[in-house]
Chain A
Amino acid sequence: MKRSLLVFRLTMMAITLFCFVAISVADNPVEIIRKMEQRMQGNSSYAEMTMKTVRPRYTREVSMKAWSKGDDFSLIFITAPARDKGTGFLKRGKEIWNFVPSIDRTIKMPPSMMSQSWMGSDFSNDDLVRGSSTVEDYQHKLLRTELFNGRDCYVIELVPLPEAAIVYDKVLIWVDKKEYIQMKVENYDEFGDCVSTITFSDIRMMGGREIPAIMEMVPHDKSGHKTVIETHHIEFDIPIQDSFFSQQNLRSLK
């Protein structure tokens, strides 16, 4: 159970961030973010990913296959490490189930899992939830345009609305002007210090569109710590019914 919790949060993280990848902007930042969110999260996707947690003295990897449809449906199948292979996660709306093959049981997860951060990883609670509330929970401002990694980018400032439960005081997002690719995120605390940076790299054609294959999160207060998510394969807008996200499929993924 405890391992499952960790693996689940890592995988949800990967999925959420993935949806976050190509949020983009034009002149009205709110409108554009909404449009880009709709476009990116699109109808559905299938992805194969590896998440690597890097620490000064060790690295751990979790590999997975993930199907998703909108914000409400996802199904994740762990393919590595050997210890966890076959473990599955099903999310429907606000409910999550974890299938543990060795004991042939589907466990319903407590809701506290959805809304809280986890220890030991470089991603915070906000990173988890922001993917679905980038439009509603912030005030947006187009700050400037600048060159980042050889691409002309918009730099947008997101300030959380007072009622939004977000730990950061401010978030900056760099978006490629031409292809609307997410390039970088900086998270700021209440003292105006940048606490963590997410960079997106290895931009290539996958699933019929140009997207970054690598996301790297670096917390600035812990030297030698980072988390890297690599997408090996992705398909967008696959034909998939809501009924695919069933307990029967959770138990029989391969």
Chain B
Amino acid sequence: MLVLMWTMSLVSNATSGDLSLRGYVKTMPSFLIDEGFDEVTFNNLVHNRLNLRWRLSDSFSFTGEARNRLLYNPLFVEFPFYKDYLGGDNGLVNLTGVWLDESRWLGVTNLDRLFVDWRQGDWQVRIGRQRVNWGINMVSNPNDLFNTYSFFDFDYPERPGADAIRFQYFTGDLSRLELVYNPADNSRESVAAALYAFNRSRYDLQLLAGYYRHRLAIGGGWAGSIGEMGFKGEATWFYDVEAQPSTRRGNLVAAAGVDHLFATGTFGLFELLYNGGHRRQGANMVLITTPLAADNIMFSQWAMTASATHPFSPVLSANLAIMALPDAEAIFISPGFARSLTQDWDFEFVGQLFTGSGDSPFAGAGSAWFVSLKYSF
């Protein structure tokens, strides 16, 4: 509530002129229920996002975005490393601060965007913590080299930023060349890559190549259509710079899918993923929400996802997503609905059911049920 009042007072002062402050505040209580339905854990999250943008001139701007979260979770006592994970910062510079750490409580602020942007004519340069999004698909993004990703962490669509320097040269109305360097403390963990995106025969196409955490990466993607249906895909091939004993040197990660808006208003999509970088790991609910990397993007070698969203009215929509991981013998099901309460208040319900055989990544994960109330400003 204090955060809300504080942001409200800032907003009233800041939205004029070239300075804008926007964002949202939400509360999201949830229940974790184990597979046998005999243990229920209650969590709560109060989450505020602040997006500050300051335009100094037509070509120069500054952006800073903060994610403030107050979490209550009894699992913190049992799994202290979960707290370490939430309070950690993967960037070159630590821009995450923990301001409350009391047994079941954690208060954490993360600056996930902090950059200067300069553009002149066909050139654009952006330096600092930023989102570099090369993904095309709706579910799995093998081309998204600069971000960690988790399909299951639905509460963070913005995703963490990458500390990077990024050059973009717009070679045409629908084409561009990008060069991005994302350094890391250990230079072997850094990423540097180039992307060329263009449009041919009503298809968006892209090609990329670079250095990805001591591996070579070469890939490409497309977004177009077959008849009335959207058709998208992306693939990246990774190859170790130095051969590792015990693991294969190269692996492919590829995903393709179709999407369609039906006459009833239902939006449906289907996507197939081949994750050649899959390595078996233990099952753990905490791990499920831990982001994966572009060269090993899922908890299995194969994944099939089907999802449908239907708007029942201008303010109410329901959706259902099902992901099957056949070789891991696991299934993820997520029903949900979203209701706009007023122009700026939204209510949402999301369920996440994980199920799988005894040694699958989802074994014993049970289910999680969330409701959220969000105010956007």
Contact = CB atoms under 8 A, between A and B. Distances in A.
B157 A119 contact: no
- Say which size band chain B's interface belongs to: 35 or more
B137 to A, nearest CB: 10
Contacts of A107: 223
A112 B228 contact: yes
B173 interface: yes
Most chain B CB atoms below 10 A, which of A2, A110, A116: A110
B311 A2 contact: yes
B174 A112 contact: no
A61 B314 CA distance: 11
Chain A at the B interface: SS class: mixed
B93 interface: no
Contact of A112 (B262, B309, B310, B312): B262
B228 A254 contact: no
Nearest to A227: B314
A103 B133 contact: yes
B264 A1 contact: no
B291 interface: no
Contact of A120 (B131, B228, B260, B313): B313
A5 interface: yes
Contacts of B204: 108
Contact of A247 (B119, B176, B311): B176
User: Could you say which of B227, B312, B314 has the most chain A C-beta atoms within 10 Å of its C-beta?
Assistant: B314
Contacts of A116: 261-263
Contact of B157 (A94, A103, A252, A254): A103
Interface residue tally of chain A, by bracket? 35 or more
Contacts of A111: 225, 227-230
Contact of B261 (A5, A95, A121, A247): A5
Interface string A103-139: 1110111111101111111000000000000000000
A82 B376 contact: yes
B311 A61 contact: no
Contacts of A243: 173
Given A103-B159, A119-B313, A247 B173 contact: yes
Given A6-B311, A92-B173, 5 more contacts: A81-B376, A108-B136, A108-B204, A110-B229, A119-B310
Interface of A: 1-2, 5-6, 53, 55, 58, 60-61, 81-83, 85, 92, 94-95, 102-105, 107-113, 115-121, 242-243, 245-248, 252, 254
11 contacts: A2-B267, A5-B267, A55-B315, A60-B314, A61-B343, A85-B22, A103-B133, A112-B261, A119-B310, A120-B265, A120-B312
